[in-house]
């Protein structure tokens, strides 16, 4: 028994000696190792709320390892976007686009369009993204032609807006079928035609949008506007009834965080109805 105890003691002592020589925590990394570790730290953001202190701390640790990581710069910027910190958003996204324009130029354009309504900068970014990628690209799931169309609508250049919206609509229709067209692109095409007083064509587009989104309140509302212009008040009131019913159910064009161009509200529907009753 004593022999066994002595043997075990020697074994434990030898083990402790070997442990003391082992490198338990690595304190320095090569440049290549740091570039590999940075995305792993950046990827850990999924465990924390975006923009939270733990998430930002983790991103800063990743930044120490690779300050050229465009995706990291973009991630810093996204938290600022959602909190309305424009100057910091611009700084971080600017760096992301410098490092990787093929990936982030169009996305920054998306932000300029929907969050800041800076239409000229949005168009410039869509153009840059397409130039470096060699094709009409998509950002945040939306065609740059589609978003260019909305940008020109915002600039009140309705003819050019129609040109880009048609490019998008025709391309998707030819390649995938009309049912795959974003219904809001059709809505904005109708709105562009309405701005140009092309009422018949606008009505056709609103009806086409309703074919794919039969409860879209916006289309009923804008159809009512056309009927009022034609002095067909009974038809206008009928459209407004459908507009209100569907609006109250939440079926209208909207986006998280921001108000969309030409977003309608219940007050708009009510005021248009009052307009008819006072004629």
Rounded-to-integer distance, Cα 191 and Cα 205, Å? 9
Q: At what angle do helices 101-111 and 119-133 cross, to 10 degrees?
A: 160
Distance separating alpha carbons of residues 109 and 129, to the nearest angstrom: 9
Among residues 194, 140, 197, 149, the alpha carbon closest in space to that of 169 is found at: 149
Average the pLDDT over 77-83 and give the result: 82
**Is 122 within 8 Å of 145 (Cβ atoms)?**
no
Written as six digits, the tokens of 66 are 């690779």
Query: Average pLDDT of the chain?
Result: 85
Q: In this model, does residue 112 exceed pLDDT 50? A: yes
Tally of domains in the chain: 1
User: Given a cut of 50, is residue 17 above it in pLDDT?
Assistant: no
Q: Which residue has better confidence, 13 or 91?
A: 91
More confident residue, 63 or 49: 63
Query: How high is the pLDDT of residue 75?
Result: 80
> How many residues are there in the chain?
279
pLDDT category, 53, cuts 50, 70, 90? low
In a domain, 201, yes or no: yes
Residue 268 is assigned to a structural domain of this protein: yes
Residue 3: what pLDDT? Answer: 45
Is the Cβ–Cβ distance between 80 and 97 less than 8 Å?
no
Locus of tokens 């590999």: 36
Instruction: Please check whether residue 262 lies inside any domain of the structure.
Output: yes
Between residues 144 and 84, which one has the greater pLDDT? 144
Give CA 81 to chain center in angstroms: 11
- For 139, list phi and psi in degrees, rounded to 5: -135, 135
- pLDDT tens across 118-143, in order? 999 999 999 999 999 999 999 999 99
pLDDT, position 249: 98
CA distance 220 to 216: 7
Report yes or no on 208 lying in a domain. yes
Q: Are strands 142-143 and 138-139 parallel, antiparallel or unpaired?
A: antiparallel
- Reading phi first (left if > 0) and then psi (alpha if -120 to 50, else beta), residue 152 is in alpha
Share of the chain above pLDDT 90, in %: 65
Residue 12 has pLDDT above 70, yes or no: no
Q: Does residue 16 lie in a domain region?
A: no
Would you say residue 59 lies in a domain?
no
Q: Is 252 domain-assigned?
A: yes
Instruction: Write phi, then psi, for 142 (nearest 5 degrees).
Output: -125, 140
Phi/psi for 43 (5° steps) reads -65, -20
Q: Is 80 exceeded by the pLDDT of residue 39?
A: no
Handedness of CA 76, 81, 83, 85 (dihedral sign): positive
Give domain status of residue 273, yes or no. Answer: yes
The pLDDT tens digits for 201-230 are 999 999 999 999 999 999 999 999 999 999
Q: Is 18 exposed, middle or buried (0-12, 13-18, 19+ CB in 10 A)?
A: exposed
For position 50, what pLDDT does the model report?
Answer: 67
pLDDT score, position 254? 97
Range of the domain at 232: 182-279
Q: Is the pLDDT of residue 18 over 60?
A: no
pLDDT-above-70 percentage for the chain = 76
Q: What CATH number is associated with residue 246?
A: 1.25.40.10
State residue 77's pLDDT score.
Answer: 81
| The model scores a pTM over 0.85 | no
Top-confidence residue, 111 or 31:
111
């Amino acid at each position: 028994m004593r022999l066994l105890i002595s043997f075990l003691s020697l074994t434990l002592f030898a083990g402790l000696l070997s442990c003391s020589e082992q490198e338990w925590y690595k304190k320095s990394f090569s440049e290549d190792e740091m570039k590999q570790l940075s995305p792993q730290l950046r990827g850990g953001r999924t465990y924390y709320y975006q923009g939270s202190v733990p998430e930002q701390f983790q991103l800063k640790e990743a930044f120490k390892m690779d300050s050229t990581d465009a995706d990291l710069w973009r991630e810093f910027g996204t938290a600022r976007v959602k909190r309305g910190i424009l100057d910091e958003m611009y700084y971080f996204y600017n760096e992301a686009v410098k490092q990787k324009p093929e990936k982030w130029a169009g996305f920054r354009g998306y932000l300029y369009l929907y969050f800041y309504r800076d239409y000229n900068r949005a168009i410039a970014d869509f153009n840059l993204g397409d130039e470096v990628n060699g094709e009409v690209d998509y950002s945040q799931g939306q065609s740059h032609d589609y978003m260019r169309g909305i940008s020109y609508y915002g600039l009140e250049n309705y003819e050019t807006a129609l040109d880009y919206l048609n490019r998008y609509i025709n391309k998707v229709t030819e390649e995938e079928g009309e049912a795959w067209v974003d219904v809001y692109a059709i809505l904005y095409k109708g709105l562009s035609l309405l701005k140009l007083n092309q009422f018949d064509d606008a009505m056709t587009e609103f009806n086409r949008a309703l074919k794919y989104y039969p409860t879209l309140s916006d289309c009923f509302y804008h159809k009512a506007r056309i009927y009022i212009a034609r002095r067909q008040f009974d038809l206008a009131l009928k459209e407004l009834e459908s507009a209100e019913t569907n609006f109250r159910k939440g079926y209208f064009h909207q986006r998280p965080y921001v108000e969309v161009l030409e977003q309608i509200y219940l007050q708009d529907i009510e005021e248009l109805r009052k307009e008819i009753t006072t004629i």
